[in-house]
């Protein structure tokens, strides 16, 4: 892993986690390229801190290649909301992320951080059954994207957050590793903080973590891990062991 990230792509920049990433990156020396599907959001993303904005659709491989060109890091926070559109066709969580991973391989990206979800893969039991039923296509798509990323050869970190909230960052998170570890909720701002930290934390490379805030934790936790998280401009992130 390189600690010299010069140009960084934030995919899904107009979403909740994406905008938190832009705000956190605003005061760094990193050139930040934001990607969104909405041309109407270009100005907002620039105001949030993006140096460059690309409008495109990751379901188009050409757009994915254009987005990641000349970037040496990727923070991928794309996502689909439940609804009729999630019941048919390709989802950005799956096919879109797959296109971005392939483009990242071609662009020699040094680190790819993917926001997945508790409930994906071996963390299936981390969300209640009714939510698994509602989100099954999204969860399956994210599971496919995780598999593509793990086998791509690109150094990666996968962050699986619990239920996302718009509360302020707590700076106090539980990090599990192993699938059925933690469940509950977490502010998007805390997820963004961990995603950015993953780029600068050698121990996070090629690992998958389930994360919730301590206040949002539900049930029994297991498989907690402690890493020396490094965030630009900060000494670290408080975690529970």
**So which residues are the catalytic ones?**
117
Secondary structure string (H, E, C) spanning 18-85: HHHHHHHHCCCCCEEEEEECCHHHHHHHHHHCCCEEEECCCCCHHHHHHHHCCCCEEEECCCCCCCHH
- In which order are the strands placed within the sheet that holds 7-11? 52-55, 31-36, 7-11, 73-76, 111-115, 156-161, 207-213, 172-176, 238-240
- Pairwise CA distance, residues 194 & 215, whole Å: 17
Other CB atoms closer than 10 Å to residue 53's CB: what's the count?
A: 21
Spell out the alpha helix ranges (H) of the chain: 16-25, 42-48, 61-68, 97-106, 129-134, 136-150, 188-199
Cβ atoms of 241 and 224 within 8 Å: the answer is yes
């Amino acid at each position: 892993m390189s600690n010299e990230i010069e140009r960084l792509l934030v995919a899904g920049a107009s979403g909740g986690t994406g905008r938190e990433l832009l705000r956190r990156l605003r005061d760094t020396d990193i050139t930040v390229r934001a990607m969104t599907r909405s041309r109407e959001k270009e100005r907002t993303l620039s105001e949030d801190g993006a140096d460059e904005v690309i409008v495109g659709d990751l379901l188009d491989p050409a757009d994915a290649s254009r987005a990641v060109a000349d970037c040496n890091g990727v923070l991928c926070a794309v996502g689909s909301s439940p609804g009729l559109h999630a019941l048919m066709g390709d989802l950005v969580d799956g096919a879109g992320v797959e296109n971005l991973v392939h483009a990242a391989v071609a662009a020699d990206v040094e680190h790819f951080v993917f926001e997945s979800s508790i409930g994906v893969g071996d963390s299936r039991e981390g969300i209640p059954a009714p939510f698994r039923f509602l989100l099954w296509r999204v969860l399956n798509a994210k599971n496919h994207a995780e598999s593509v990323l793990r086998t791509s050869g690109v150094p990666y970190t996968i962050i699986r957050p619990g239920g996302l909230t718009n509360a302020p960052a707590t700076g106090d998170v539980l990090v599990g590793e192993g699938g059925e570890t933690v469940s509950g909720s977490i502010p998007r701002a805390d997820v963004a903080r961990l995603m950015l930290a993953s780029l600068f934390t050698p121990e996070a490379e090629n690992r998958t973590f389930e994360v919730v805030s301590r206040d949002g934790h539900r049930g029994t936790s297991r498989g907690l891990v402690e890493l020396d998280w490094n965030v630009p401009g900060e000494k670290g992130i408080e975690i529970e062991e």
